[in-house]
Structure formats: C-alpha cells, structure tokens
Amino acid sequence: MIYKNISLKKFNTFGLDCMADCMIRIRNEKEAISLFRGEISWKKPFLIIGGGSNILFTSDFKGTILYPEIGGIKVEVKDQEYVIISAGAGVNWDKLVEWTVNKGYGGLENLSLIPGLVGATPVQNIGAYGVEVKDTIEKVIAVSIDDGAITEFSKNDCRFGYRNSTFKSENKGKYLVIRVYFKLTISPLLNLNYGSLKEEVTKLGSVTLKNARQAVINIRRSKLPDPEIIGNAGSFFKNPVVSSSAAESLNNRYPQMPSYKDQSGGTKLAAGWLIDQCGWKGKRVGDAGVHDKQALVLVNYGKATGKEIYNLSEKIIKSVQEKFGIDLEREVEVVGTI
Ligand SMILES: Cc1cc2nc3c(=O)[nH]c(=O)nc-3n(C[C@H](O)[C@H](O)[C@H](O)COP(=O)(O)OP(=O)(O)OC[C@H]3O[C@@H](n4cnc5c(N)ncnc54)[C@H](O)[C@@H]3O)c2cc1C
C-alpha cells in the first residue's frame, strides 16, 4: 500500500498541512518483514508515524512515512490474578484502554484518553496520573528495519525512562514496533493518589475501574484542548528534573513552586508552572499560541506553520532559562528543517 504526495494534515494532531513524498501503510507483520527485507523498493529517509500526536512537522517530509495499521487485541494468557493481552501497533490506544476496562482488567485506566496508537506507547513510555505504561508492559515485538528480523524486547530490554525508551535512544530509527504485550490485573488495585483523581471518582459514585477511567477522562477534558478542535500535541515540554540542591535553592526564591521527588533521586519541577511564571499562558503569536488553561500545551489556532510553533517554543525556552536558569527540553519530536 504505497501512496505518493500525501498531505500529512490528518496524520498530525497539530493539523499542520505538510506533504510527504510517500506513505506506506503496513497492514500486517508479513508486510513489515518484506518491506525491510528489501522485497519492494521504497524511498528513504523514513519516519514511522502513529497518531502523529507527539510530532511537530516544520517542513514537508522528503521521504517515506511508514504507517502501521496492524490491528487485533488478544488475550494471550489468563490465570486467577493476571491476564496478559497483546495489541497490534495500529490499534487506537484509548480504544484498547476502553476494552480492558470493559473486561474488568486493571492497569491502563489512568492512561485513558491519551491520543495515538498502541505502537508508540512503549516508544514514548506514555504516562499520566501517576502511572506509566512501563508499569504494565510485559514485552514488545518489533521488526528490524535493517533486515526484517522479528525481535522481542523484554521490559528490561526496553530501558524505559521518563517519556523515554530504547526506541527513542540507542535503538532510535532501528525498529518498527508491531505488537505490545501488557500484564494486567484481574482484581484491579486502583491508583487514585494523583491530583484530584480520588475526588473526581467519589463524585461519580463508587470506586470502580469504570469510574476511575471516567474520572481521568473528565479531568483531561476539563484541562486539555481537544486536538480535533484546536491543534496541539499535549505537553510540548518535559517536566525538568533537577538535583535536590538546585530545587531547594529555587524553592527558597519561589516558595510556591511545585516540585515532586523523582524516581531517579532528583526533583521534578512543573514545566507548565515555570512557563506560566514567565507570562506565557494564553499568549498568542499569529496562529501559534500557549493554551490559556495549561501553559505546557502549545496550540495551532488554525493556520500556524510548524516553524511558527517551533519559534514560539524557542522563545519560551529562552525566557525560562533567563528567569529560572533551567533548560526546558521538548517532549514533542521536531521533524523537518528549522
Ligand atoms: C491532547 C493530547 C494529550 C496528550 N497527553 C499525553 C499524556 O497524558 N501522557 C503522555 O505520555 N503523552 C501524551 N500525549 C502525547 C502523545 O499522545 C503520546 O506520546 C502518544 O503515545 C503518541 O502516539 P502516536 O501514535 O500519536 O505517536 P506519533 O506521534 O505518531 O509518534 C511518536 C514517536 O513514536 C514513533 N513511533 C510511532 N509508532 C511507532 C511504531 N509502531 N514503531 C516504532 N516507532 C513508532 C514515531 O516515529 C515518533 O518518534 C498527548 C498528546 C495530545 C495531543
């Protein structure tokens, strides 16, 4: 399934109207293998794209977009405590979460409503409401782009970190994820300790798996812009992790600054708060802007180009550096010329 001169507008949640020379839709494992074994010719460079919800295109893409459409959700193993399910890379993430919640399987509910496809979730190690997808991933099956070999990555092999994994670091651009295995609980232990989650669940009635999912959905809908209405890619920047001593000296200057202990031993700061303190919340430069409810989210009000959004992000990085001495890192992947 090879397409030429494709508009990427529907393939990125910023809604940027860029073009790609080619797009290959990969419908199953066999197609992926034959593609990378060189059985058909295709134009490099390439970019794998799922829902395009973490990508900022700053120019047309002069190469091939690989779009995995591999579907299927399966129960692989089930006992009294756990169930292992697998899902194809092309399955919509939130549809999978909904499916697990309807079956009564626990573990993914706090990750409800995150846009994108299953294949990207181990790449990004998506996270929300105190949970990261690494907490449930059992293994990842990928195809080597070099030679089409099927490769299995255990949870350890994935080298998960904060919005990071081997697929974004030493193995970046080397594998196409085709299937992900999740280990879920049969008697869910809900994790409602984050923010106002418990309160929101209580408002819905009893503490159940379905209500936990619904609470996450309600909170997200009240805070985050819907990409179908205003183009965005969720959090544009990562929350910076600094040493405890750096956090302490910042806390002395800004006692109201939110900070959290990080698993790495450092202190995580809220990038949105830092950006807000620099006066960016709700600011607009042409059609590129900073969301008025969440300063961590950059938006396309309609006709912004990727370069304009990128330039706005540069200004934000500069002002956070000047005011707090902290370098913000983009969570969104920038693709194209700057
Ligand atoms: C409104 C909104 C809210 C969001 N909220 C959150 C949130 O709460 N938490 C969070 O973690 N993220 C959040 N995100 C970011 C984004 O949804 C996630 O990063 C998501 O996992 C990206 O999935 P995708 O399919 O769109 O990937 P894409 O953006 O298409 O790709 C992301 C990266 O993964 C690679 N990739 C994609 N599929 C594959 C594959 N099959 N094999 C190998 N590499 C692949 C791509 O090459 C790219 O490098 C949000 C985004 C939006 C728009």
Asked if the model's pLDDT at residue 263 lies above 90, the reply is no
Question: Hey, is 61 helix, strand or coil?
Answer: strand
Q: Is 267 exposed, middle or buried (0-12, 13-18, 19+ CB in 10 A)?
A: buried
Q: What is the pLDDT of residues 19-45, one digit of tens each?
A: 999 999 999 999 999 999 999 889 999
How far is 277 from 253, CA to CA, in rounded Å?
13
Written as one letter, the residue type at 180 is V
- Residue 217 near residue 113, CB atoms below 8 Å: yes
Asked if the model's pLDDT at residue 1 lies above 80, the reply is no
- Residue 295: strand pairing partners: none
- Residue 8 near residue 16, CB atoms below 8 Å: yes
Please indicate whether residue 235 is annotated as part of the active site: yes
Please indicate whether residue 213 is annotated as part of the active site: no
Ligand 1 atom nearest to CA at 68? 41
Q: What is the pLDDT of residues 132-191, one digit of tens each?
A: 999 999 999 999 999 999 999 999 999 999 999 999 999 999 999 999 999 999 998 999
The rounded mean pLDDT for the chain is 96
What's the gap in Å between 42 CA and the centre of ligand 1?
25
Q: What is the pLDDT of residues 37-78, one digit of tens each?
A: 999 889 999 999 999 999 999 999 999 999 999 999 999 999
How far is 211 from 140, CA to CA, in rounded Å?
29
Check pocket membership of 15 for ligand 1, CB cut-off 6 A.
Answer: no
Choose, from 112, 163, 200, 330, the residue flagged as catalytic.
163
Nearest residue to 142 via CA among 119, 175, 117, 103: 175
What's the gap in Å between 52 CA and the centre of ligand 1?
7
Please report the DSSP string for 83-112 in residue order. Answer: EEEEEETTSBHHHHHHHHHHHT-BSSGGGT
Provide the CATH topology of domain 231-335.
Answer: 3.90.78
> Which of 49, 238, 297 should be mutated for ligand 1, with most atoms under 8 A from CB?
49
Please indicate whether residue 248 is annotated as part of the active site: no
What's the gap in Å between 132 CA and the centre of ligand 1?
13
How far is 200 from 112, CA to CA, in rounded Å?
14
Check pocket membership of 53 for ligand 1, CB cut-off 6 A.
Answer: yes
- Residue 242 near residue 267, CB atoms below 8 Å: yes
Q: What is the pLDDT of residues 91-113, one digit of tens each?
A: 999 999 999 999 999 999 999 99
Check pocket membership of 290 for ligand 1, CB cut-off 6 A.
Answer: no
| Alpha-carbon separation of residue 224 from 258, 264, 297, 303 (angstroms) | 20, 28, 8, 20
Q: Which residues contact 112 (CB under 8 A, 6 or more apart)?
A: 94, 97, 98, 101, 213, 216, 217, 220
Sequence spans of domains, the chain: 2-68, 73-223, 231-335
Query: Structurally, what CATH architecture does the domain formed by 73-223 represent?
Result: 2-Layer Sandwich (3.30)
Is it true that domain 2-68 has CATH number 3.40.50.2300?
no
- Residue 87 near residue 76, CB atoms below 8 Å: no
Q: Is 266 exposed, middle or buried (0-12, 13-18, 19+ CB in 10 A)?
A: middle
